[in-house]
A = this chain, B = another copy of it.
Amino acid sequence: MALGEFDLIRRFFTVQAVKHRSTILGIGDDCALLRCESDQELVITVDTLVEGVHFLHDVDPESLGHKALAVNLSDLAAMGAEPKWVTLALTLPHCDADWLQSFAKGFFTLAKRYEVELIGGDTTRGPLTITVQALGLTPRNHALRRSGACPGDLVYLTGELGAAGLGLKIRLGQTGIEDQGAFAHLERPEPRVDIGLKLRGLASSCIDVSDGLAADLGHILEACDVGATLYWERLPLSDGVHRYVAETDDWSMPLSAGDDYELCFTVPPTSREELERNLTAGGFPFALIGQIESQAGLRLSKEGRSIELSQNGYQHFSSD
């Protein structure tokens, strides 16, 4: 990057609304300096988005700025963490002021909503690649994990399933279904931070659905050495996804498509009432979709039949 370009980038990325008291030093030195407390745990995640792999070439830069942060906040949400700080490593093929301004708008609008402060970054010249690292806090010993689910626990999902997958199919011209809402799910996923905080002390395990429900619930089953049955009729499908499945009979799509960024979590039956009361009071969308079982494997109960699902994610996804 030439120096004028650095100045331009600095202009867009150092103006931000959020500044935490526990940030001793933000952008502008070799490193950022943060203060943590002994009764807290620091929660860290990193995710990269690559052009042509994770987003299409003609993506709206404001949506991209949103999504690059959202997918990381979604990981923090899955641990029940409160987001606090973020670093941004941005590799750009060229320096386009309009593009940068839109990207920064999407990024900082979401950052402000969850009070996330940008504390550092690196801007380099190269193929468009965005790596965000997010840092959050939980009270000591209160983080949610993939492990912890026991046979008899109930399986829940936030929001709706398969809408992002449908949005991608529409974008790629693979279906004639019309569904504007599906684009929002694909391009502006809302991280379930507020729900994650409500799950502390109640959920026995939690994961965010980025690779598809079957794959991600599969990670929980693996970590806990258990199995599960999902109930087809209980899966929270949007109208568009219902129509897609009815037209194509591709019922596995909502189970295997990624990019939903909803939370899948398990709850012991004894906590069910408190959990449902809390989430309902907060106006949060959720559905009870299945049950943890001691028998290994992931099964789908659909129209009276039990179908074995692969846990291997969408790459190797297969039905009977």
Chain A positions within 8 Å of B, measured between CB atoms, are 2-3, 24-25, 28-38, 40-54, 75-76, 78-79, 81, 85, 87, 89, 91, 119-122, 124-127, 129, 131, 133, 135-136, 138, 140, 143, 145-146, 207-208, 223, 312-313, 315-316
User: When the two chains form the complex, which single residue of B38, B54, B124 contacts A124, counting CB atoms closer than 8 Å?
Assistant: B54
Query: Is B46 in contact with A41, judged by CB distance below 8 angstroms?
Result: no
Q: Using Cβ atoms and an 8 Å threshold, which residues of chain B touch A207?
A: 30
Query: Is A34 in contact with B41, judged by CB distance below 8 angstroms?
Result: yes
Query: Is B30 in contact with A78, judged by CB distance below 8 angstroms?
Result: yes
User: When the two chains form the complex, which single residue of B35, B78, B127, B136 contacts A126, counting CB atoms closer than 8 Å?
Assistant: B127
Query: Is B25 in contact with A143, judged by CB distance below 8 angstroms?
Result: yes
User: When the two chains form the complex, which single residue of B28, B33, B79, B85 contacts A33, counting CB atoms closer than 8 Å?
Assistant: B79
Q: Do most interface residues of chain A lie in helix, strand or loop, or is the interface mixed? A: strand
Query: Is B131 in contact with A50, judged by CB distance below 8 angstroms?
Result: no
Query: Please, which residue of chain B has its CB at the minimum distance from the CB of A37?
Result: B38
Give chain B nearest CB distance to A57 CB in angstroms: 13
The distance in angstroms between the C-alpha atoms of A274 and B86, with both chains bound, is 38
Q: Using Cβ atoms and an 8 Å threshold, which residues of chain B touch A140?
A: 35
Query: Please, which residue of chain B has its CB at the minimum distance from the CB of A132?
Result: B89
Query: Is A30 in contact with B75, judged by CB distance below 8 angstroms?
Result: yes
The distance in angstroms between the C-alpha atoms of A316 and B2, with both chains bound, is 9
Task: Give the copy number.
Answer: 2
Also in contact, A3 and B46, with CB within 8 A (given A31-B78, A91-B129, A124-B54):
no
6 contacts between A and B (CB under 8 A): A24-B41, A29-B79, A30-B79, A36-B42, A44-B120, A129-B129
The distance in angstroms between the C-alpha atoms of A131 and B121, with both chains bound, is 10
Query: Is A46 in contact with B87, judged by CB distance below 8 angstroms?
Result: yes
Also in contact, A46 and B122, with CB within 8 A (given A29-B145, A41-B34, A79-B31):
yes
User: When the two chains form the complex, which single residue of B29, B89, B145 contacts A46, counting CB atoms closer than 8 Å?
Assistant: B89
Query: Is A43 in contact with B33, judged by CB distance below 8 angstroms?
Result: yes
Give chain B nearest CB distance to A271 CB in angstroms: 21
Give chain B nearest CB distance to A142 CB in angstroms: 10
The distance in angstroms between the C-alpha atoms of A89 and B45, with both chains bound, is 10
Give chain B nearest CB distance to A33 CB in angstroms: 5
Q: Using Cβ atoms and an 8 Å threshold, which residues of chain B touch A50?
A: 91, 124-127
Query: Is B81 in contact with A31, judged by CB distance below 8 angstroms?
Result: yes
Give chain B nearest CB distance to A258 CB in angstroms: 13
Query: Is B312 in contact with A48, judged by CB distance below 8 angstroms?
Result: no
The distance in angstroms between the C-alpha atoms of A36 and B223, with both chains bound, is 26
Query: Is B312 in contact with A3, judged by CB distance below 8 angstroms?
Result: yes
The distance in angstroms between the C-alpha atoms of A295 and B81, with both chains bound, is 49
Q: Using Cβ atoms and an 8 Å threshold, which residues of chain B touch A126?
A: 50-53, 127, 129
Query: Is A48 in contact with B91, judged by CB distance below 8 angstroms?
Result: yes
Give chain B nearest CB distance to A102 CB in angstroms: 21
Query: Is B42 in contact with A34, judged by CB distance below 8 angstroms?
Result: yes
Query: Is B48 in contact with A89, judged by CB distance below 8 angstroms?
Result: yes
